[in-house]
Structure 1
């Protein structure tokens, strides 16, 4: 994010500190199952808020429907700063063009700050013979429609990353949706599905342990944690425009007082500047992604437009059942 913007915003944030404090337990809604990156972000944030605000901060996992169930619950919550959503690229960007019956709109949430950004990784079960991205694409072409891939939910980053990969390479596979990254990874490790394109931040430990074989990352650059993995866009001409980074950040219900928005933003900035947080992010293969509320709102709008074009090109429309 731009240094100038951060510099201009800092005095306002500092003045806001102390202007708002919660008066009861703070609920951090994680619209995904335990063990995924969204859950990790909520559990890193909770103790910082508790120490800073002097009120209990509890994480509440509300998984299902690609993160839209938990999001809808936050949208309905009283906008007093006591209910926080740790959202992500799926329900906060992709969902708006993917789901016909989405029960909320972008204007019903206030973006507070991004928290972490990182690539996805293309991973296969060890039984899959491919050891490079081109070999895997050829394997898909040789087995049209026969391979299954897991996702952390319909409309999540891993789902649309795989869809876009298939669009660009002219391949076909079947999505199997789970209620979060943790259950999806268990399916891949267990061989219930053949591949996945999902968050490196969630999968890095399984990759290092050899439980899954990673072939490449979705970002434009290599990742410092697993530098041997090439960006997929560098592996074959068909993927030259392929560039995906996933992200996770905080939102509040529309109508939340500005003082509460700024105070949460300031608390997130503190969390992201802590050496322990930066070490944890590095272990996960992600980077801190602080932004002012205005910067984060602009970023989310751009991401919504980007993925809307992928969804429309695919003609992909789903109902939340």
Structure 2
């Protein structure tokens, strides 16, 4: 995501005093590999906490199973506030509707704080005669299933972004899933795919070089990195409800002390309001997601409900491996 030295040099903005502080080192479980946006969010928070609390904060990457392995590892820890989960839209929102046999439910968690939100971008191959969303929709309606779109895998956020777009516009295209976004991007650049929803930063170099044409962002507002790109929801009445962001957030155990959740939230908000953190995130095409626990819980519930309907309508059902 291009955030340099995410684990160091974060100036500490002190949180308001809270009744709970850790009595020993704390652990942030990350259900994703190092280097991605979820890991970056965890390391930004860990650097802040070590300064603010004076306790070591370990970032523990537990990747695999679409985030389920790390999530289960977190749930096995003692619910005393010393182990928290830095999760994301996959295992903490879409997975509840995607997987038939998911080994946990949403009520196992205490949504604690947002951390990062960022848009995807709708890009087309230059050979596609569409310079706007309306032109792309017209092409899709004129010749249903004549276009292919790729994603990093079935049920991943870019795939679901495409599914919802097609549902709202009443159009059809053929989904081609890959094992990760890199091979999907390779096929799009080669012209074997016609369009794709992709992380804004991952696509930005190809957009700037003219190898891809960007026509809209998926978030509700414009991105500072590409301010000329409209949000999809502003391009047609059919898309007025469309709002898709990749997000990273902090979760506690449902049985954790309320005082611990409040304290973690205060520290996360203090970190996110640091000018340096804001600048780092915006440079990477993302925004800080500042929210109180109740506000953030409402956001998570809305995300779960939104994707439940999209997934149900598409008929997507996956089995845990």
Q: Same fold (TM over 0.5)?
A: yes
* Aligned partner of residue 162 in structure 1, secondary structure: helix
**Deviation digits for residues 151-173 of structure 1, max 9, x if unmatched?**
3x543332211111122332122
**Deviation digits for residues 32-86 of structure 1, max 9, x if unmatched?**
2344322221221121122222233233333333322222221222223332211
Contact 1:204 1:285 in 2 (8 A): no
Aligned-partner Cα distance in 1 for 2:223–2:189: 22
Contact 2:144 2:172 in 1 (8 A): no
* Aligned partner of residue 276 in structure 1, secondary structure: helix
Aligned-partner Cα distance in 1 for 2:37–2:16: 29
Match of 2:12 in 1: none
The 3 A distance-change label for structure 1 pair 78 and 313 is same
Aligned-partner Cα distance in 2 for 1:186–1:54: 45
Is 1:316 aligned to residue 321 of structure 2? no
The 3 A distance-change label for structure 1 pair 207 and 271 is farther
Contact 2:120 2:217 in 1 (8 A): yes
Is 1:45 aligned to residue 40 of structure 2? no
Q: State which drifts further: 240-249 or 87-96.
A: 240-249
Contact 2:147 2:194 in 1 (8 A): no
After TM superposition, the structure 1 = structure 2 runs for residues 37-186 of structure 1, keeping only pairs within 5 Å, are 37-125=37-125, 130-137=130-137, 142=143, 144=145, 147-151=148-152, 153-169=153-169, 170-178=171-179
Q: State which drifts further: 131-140 or 245-254.
A: 131-140
Contact 1:30 1:38 in 2 (8 A): yes
Match of 2:264 in 1: 264
Aligned-partner Cα distance in 1 for 2:183–2:76: 27
Aligned-partner Cα distance in 2 for 1:178–1:80: 37
Counting matched residue pairs gives 305
Aligned-partner Cα distance in 2 for 1:99–1:293: 27
After TM superposition, the structure 1 = structure 2 runs for residues 198-237 of structure 1, keeping only pairs within 5 Å, are 198-200=198-200, 203-204=203-204, 207-208=207-208, 210=210, 212-237=212-237
Aligned-partner Cα distance in 2 for 1:261–1:206: 41
Match of 1:286 in 2: 286
What is the root-mean-square deviation in Å for CA atoms of aligned residues?
Answer: 2.9
Structure 1 stretches of 5 or more lacking a match?
1-12
Q: How far 1:123 sits from its partner (Å)?
A: 2.3
Give the TM-score taking structure 1 as reference length.
0.82
Aligned-partner Cα distance in 2 for 1:89–1:70: 14
Aligned-partner Cα distance in 1 for 2:135–2:320: 35
**Deviation digits for residues 90-137 of structure 1, max 9, x if unmatched?**
221111112111111011111110112232211245565644334444
The 3 A distance-change label for structure 1 pair 258 and 118 is same
Q: How far 1:139 sits from its partner (Å)?
A: 5.3
* Aligned partner of residue 249 in structure 1, secondary structure: strand
Q: How far 1:143 sits from its partner (Å)?
A: 7.2
Aligned-partner Cα distance in 2 for 1:58–1:182: 29
Aligned-partner Cα distance in 2 for 1:113–1:300: 10
Aligned-partner Cα distance in 1 for 2:206–2:313: 33
Aligned-partner Cα distance in 2 for 1:299–1:201: 24
The 3 A distance-change label for structure 1 pair 77 and 213 is farther
* Aligned partner of residue 14 in structure 1, secondary structure: coil
Aligned-partner Cα distance in 2 for 1:50–1:191: 47
Identify the structure with the greater helix proportion: 1
Give the TM-score taking structure 2 as reference length.
0.82
Q: State which drifts further: 96-105 or 64-73.
A: 64-73
Q: How far 1:203 sits from its partner (Å)?
A: 4.4
Q: How far 1:209 sits from its partner (Å)?
A: 5.3
